[in-house]
Structure 1
Amino acid sequence: MHIKHHGAVNGVTGSCHQLIFNEQSSLLIDCGIFQGEDSNHSPHINFDISTVKALIVTHCHIDHVGRIPYLLAAGFKGPIYTSPASAKLLPLVIEDALKVGVTRNESMIRTCLKLLKQQIVVVPFNTWLKLTPLINDVSIKFKRAGHILGSAYIEVDIGRTPNKHRVVFSGDLGAPYTPLLPTPKPPYKADTLVIESTYGDKNHQGRKERVNVLKNIIERAVSDNGVVLIPAFSIGRTQELLYELEQIISATSKHSLWRKLQVIVDSPMAANFTNEYIHFKDLWDNEAKNRVSKGRHPLDFSQLHTIDTHQEHQALINFLASKRQPAIIIAASGMCSGGRIVNYLERFLEDTTTDVIFVGYQGRGTLGRDIQTYGPRGGYVFINNKKVTINAQIHTISGYSAHADQKGLLRFVTGMKKKPSLIRIVHGDDEAKETLANKYRELLGDKVKIEIGTE
């Protein structure tokens, strides 16, 4: 048994890991697209898939599933195992990815989606699935990862008792006390662990602190009738923000500015995913379920408005530009690498009354990272080949990341009853990976081999 990595080793995008059992059989865990600095990698499948018997999808973010159409085009016909919620979300994500980045040809899109839906196999959480006859003596289990709706980490048991070897792939682990979803629990054991390291060198603000920071930034931001722009991924971050904003609104007096402030989600995709979050309320944590039981609607409140068509999107930009009416705009993409948020940034980044709030990781080489870096210095960025001076106020609230921080990544290992003999670190910038590796060495000593994944 050995593991090859076909992405997410020189950065945080393009997750794709191949678990090879022998010369005849292997599994793929995720098949994501490259973004930011990593986007110079071809999305085409440039490795041999003749031994790949199945694909396991940990969750539906594009950097974990965006290469699936290319995998199907390369001839992959095996099952695609994923959780019930991810099975519902995956066709939506792939359809959007095809339309935005590949083709507008409806026939090609329908063909791809038909193949995808035929190959998806739903696997409930916490249930061992034997892969016989695809692969003998291999079983998989999905465990809740708390990252986004349906997200999982994967346990793979290889061999027979008493010589079973368990490989755990973390996927993306959620942060503790994240709105809506419960904190991931460590597995009982792992012999080999492949773990993400997005925030391997950082710790997040506490939830109470980050809510106060969000509230204070927005109150100051709208005092001059400016717009507040929040780039956010359509799945996960958008729903968490809506949940927190509904709580702030609910906790303020009827005469507060919050009761008049419009919260606008300018993303049809995010609206679709929010409906799925509501549909899968059984996956929510106890706090969220308790709010619903009291008649609250954390993801569907009166001041929330959704923008659908491109015409409505353009009309809203023109309205906000002319009327000087304060509003909170949540739009994709989360790293500003495309999508409707780019149009808002192009129009409003030069205005001193604008505030941009980053609530998630900004990958190297993305517009989001550039704004984060040069905005506080009074710098500029290029948007659609146009030089745009950054006069807006730029804020970063790291506590809203859907990724576990360093403490969470350490706890995932220290919480195991039986520790791994090998930990391989992927999905992070170089400094994050090195810092996390050193922390593991300090905590676990020489008994555990720590490696940083390479292609």
Structure 2
Amino acid sequence: MDIKHWGAVDGVTGSCHQLILNEHNSILIDCGLFQGAETAGKAGAESLAIEFDLSTVKALVVTHCHIDHVGRIPYLLAAGFNGPIYATQATVAMLPMILRDALKLGVTQDQRLIDACIRKLKSQMIAVDYKVWQSLPVDGLAKVKFKPAGHILGSAYLEFDCGKGKRVVFSGDLGAPYTPLLAAPKSPYQADVLVIESTYGDHCHQGRKARSALLKTTIEKAVADNGVVLIPAFSIGRTQELLYELESIAYAESKKNPAAMWANLEVIIDSPMAAGFTDFYCEFSELWDAEARRKTQSGRHPLDFETLYTVSSHKEHIQVLNYLAKRNKPAVVIAASGMCSGGRIVSYLEQFLPDATADVLFVGYQARGSLGRDIQQYGPTGGYVFIDDKRIDIKAGVHTLSGYSAHADQKDLLNFVKRMRKPPKLIKIVHGDEEAKAELARLYRDLLPECDVVIAGYGLE
């Protein structure tokens, strides 16, 4: 048995790992898109085509449907992969929408080709419940169990039983505890081999109360001059968490004072996909944590409130841009993409970055080379960025709230291993910048001196 890594080794995107069971059978775990600076370099990400050998790959198992974990599935299908694609019920429901949009934006506008790809995808997908063993077409060599990862709706870490009591665990992306809506992940009993993400391997988040208070005060200060607050957010996961927190703040403040700013602050979701995924969150509300379910039982709607507006068409998007530019009233705009690498948020940034009354609020990780990372880096010192080859001076305020990451932080990544009854003999660290991987590796070595801790490289490195 061995593991090859075809992505998420030079950074945090392009997750793709191959569990090799023998010379005839292997399983692919995720097949994601590279983003930001990670689209170039030794990982071969400049080519979207699948360049590794698929002859032994009998199945694809998907941890969750963020684009950096699923974005190259159409290329996998085009390369001739005809095997089953296993994922949780919620991921299977959402994946066609994600890939349809990705194909339209990055591959082709030909609707017949897109429809053909999505039909093929649906014919190969198999929905699996959490916490049950699923057999795999690998001659009885392995089976898989999906365990809740608490990252986004439908997310899972994967526990493979490879026979003779040997367990191999792939973390996918682990969620942070006390995240709105989803319960925190619980560690497996055993992992002989652990492949684990390290996005925040060198960083600890703020606590939930602190981050909610900071979100509240940051927005209050930002809108004091009647400016617009722009929040780049992934359509699935981050957007719904923000809605949950904003509804909670508005509800509490409105109870204190019905005339308070929060009672009338417009929150605009400019993302048809985010609206669609919010519907999925409601459809799969049985996956919510106890706190969120209690709110709905009391008659509240954690993902909806009176001053929330959703923008659908491109025409509406342009109208909202013009409306916000001309008016003298505060608003919060949440739009994709989360790293500002495309999507409608880019139009807002081009319009409002030069506006001193505007503010940009980052609530998630910004990969190196992304527009979001550049704004985060150069904005606070009054720098500039290029959008569509046009220089945009940054006069808007730039803020970062790391506590809203949907990723586990350093403490959580350590606890995930600490709480295993039978800790791993081998840990392979992926999905992180070099500093984060190195620091997490050091801490794991201190925690488990007998464990072989390696930073994974491309292929079999």
In structure 1, distance between residues paired with 2:216 and 2:190: 41
Return the offset for 1:135: 3.0
1:100 to 96, 101, 105: 105
1:172 Cα deviation after fit: 0.1
Identity of aligned residues (%): 63
Q: Choose which of 447, 450, 455 in structure 2 pairs with 1:452.
A: 455
**Paired AA for residue 303 in structure 1:** T
| Residues in 2 aligned to 1:410 and 1:23: alpha-carbon distance in whole angstroms | 34
Kindly indicate whether the alpha-carbon contact (under 8 Å) linking 1:53 and 1:135 is maintained by their aligned counterparts in 2.
Answer: no
Q: Secondary structure at the match of 2:262?
A: helix
Distance 1:2 1:285 in 2: 36
Question: What is the rounded CA distance, in whole Å, between the counterparts of 1:380 and 1:78 in structure 2?
Answer: 47
Specify the code of the residue in structure 2 equivalent to 1:165. Answer: K
For residues 101-140 of structure 1, give each alpha carbon's deviation from its aligned partner in whole angstroms, at most 9, with x where no partner exists.
1111000000000000000001100001122x54323110
Q: How does 1:348-427 map to 2 (within 5 A)?
A: 348-427=352-431
Alignment of 1:93-242 (within 5 A): 93-131=98-136, 133-159=137-163, 163-242=164-243
Q: In 1, distance between residues paired with 2:307 and 2:77? A: 42
1:51-66 equivalence runs, <5 A:
51-66=56-71
Q: Distance in 2 between matches of 1:34 and 1:218?
A: 32
Select 2:433's aligned residue among 424, 429, 433.
Answer: 429
DSSP 3-state at the match of 1:141: strand
TM-score by length of 1: 0.98
Pairs within 5 Å for 1:247-258: 247-252=248-253, 253-258=257-262
**Which of the residues 292, 311, 314 maps onto 2:318?**
314
- Spell out the pairing of 1:251-330 with structure 2 (5 A cutoff): 251-252=252-253, 253-330=257-334
**Which stretches in structure 1 are left out of the alignment for 5+ residues?**
none
Amino acid at match of 1:337: S
Deviation, 1:164, is: 2.4
Which digits, 9 at most, give the CA deviation of each residue in 1:357-376, with x for residues without a partner?
00000000000000000001
Runs (4 or more) in structure 1 with deviation over 4 Å come to none
SS at match of 1:195: strand
Deviations 1:74-118 (A, max 9, x none): 000000000000000100100010011111100000000000000
**What is the TM-score of this pair, normalised by structure 2?**
0.97
Q: Distance in 2 between matches of 1:407 and 1:321?
A: 42
Contact 2:428/2:453 (<8 A) preserved: yes
1:14 and 2:17 are equivalent in the alignment: no
2:309, 2:289 → 1: CA distance? 25
Contact 2:21–2:141, Cα closer than 8 Å, also in 1 = no
Q: CA deviation at 1:324?
A: 2.4
- Say whether residues 1:346 and 2:350 are aligned partners: yes
Return the letter of the residue paired with 1:437. A
Q: Counterpart of 2:218 in structure 1: which amino acid?
A: I
Residue by residue, what CA displacement relative to the aligned partner does 1:400-426 show, whole Å, maximum 9, x if unpaired?
000000000000000000000000000
Tell me how large the CA RMSD over aligned residues is.
0.7
What stretches of structure 2 of length at least 5 have no aligned partner? Answer: none
Q: Which residue of 2 aligns with 1:38?
A: 38
Partner-residue secondary structure (3-state), 2:7:
coil
C-alpha distance in 2 between matches for 1:360 and 1:84 = 26
| Contact kept? 1:55, 1:79, Cα under 8 Å | yes
What SS class does the counterpart of residue 21 from structure 1 fall into?
strand
